[in-house]
């Protein structure tokens, strides 16, 4: 079971990360995109490369109680204030939005605000994870 006291907690923002052509090309290549960096565009899902590591602190926190081997990705939503661009210097801040227990399993919702280092909102990424409960003996 996840620690319900974490609901509402805002994690420390990540260190600024520059969106480079090489990083976008590597991400797109992993998805099989033959033309990874289209003029002026970055794949919307590129933000996963920033938001997923931003939540690592929860995986590493024994008080939170998250066993990542029991996690299934359930849902991902992106709400953009503006497109991500090569050259942006972005940071991400995760908020533990909710933890709901259903039939002994947890549904963990994380909301990650992505912004420029100057504070300009870029996107909000919502992730829902299914965390399987312990098997009963």
Domain ranges of the chain: 4-131
Q: pLDDT tens digits, residue range 53-101?
A: 999 999 899 999 999 999 999 999 999 999 999 999 999 999 999 999 9
**Whole-number pLDDT of residue 34:** 65
**Domain 4-131: which topology?**
Thiol Ester Dehydrase; Chain A (3.10.129)
What length does the chain have? 137
pTM assigned to the model: 0.90
Maximum pairwise Cα distance, the chain: 56
Q: pLDDT tens digits, residue range 91-128?
A: 999 999 999 999 999 999 999 999 999 999 999 999 99
Q: Is 32 left (phi over 0), alpha (psi -120 to 50) or beta?
A: left
Helix, coil or strand: residue 48: helix
- Residue 35 has a CB neighbour count (10 Å cut-off) of 8
């Amino acid at each position: 079971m996840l620690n319900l006291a974490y609901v509402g907690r805002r994690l420390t923002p990540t260190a600024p990360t520059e969106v480079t052509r090489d990083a976008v090309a590597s991400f797109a290549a992993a998805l099989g995109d033959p033309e990874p960096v289209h003029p002026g565009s970055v794949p919307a899902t590129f933000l996963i490369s920033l938001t997923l590591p931003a939540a690592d602190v929860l995986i590493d926190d024994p008080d939170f109680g998250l066993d990542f081997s029991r996690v299934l990705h359930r849902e991902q939503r992106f709400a953009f204030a503006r497109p991500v661009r090569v050259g942006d210097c972005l940071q991400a801040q995760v908020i533990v939005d909710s933890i709901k227990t259903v039939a002994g399993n947890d549904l963990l919702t994380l909301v990650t605000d992505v912004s420029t280092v100057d504070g300009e909102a870029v996107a909000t990424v919502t992730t829902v994870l299914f965390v399987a409960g312990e098997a009963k003996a």
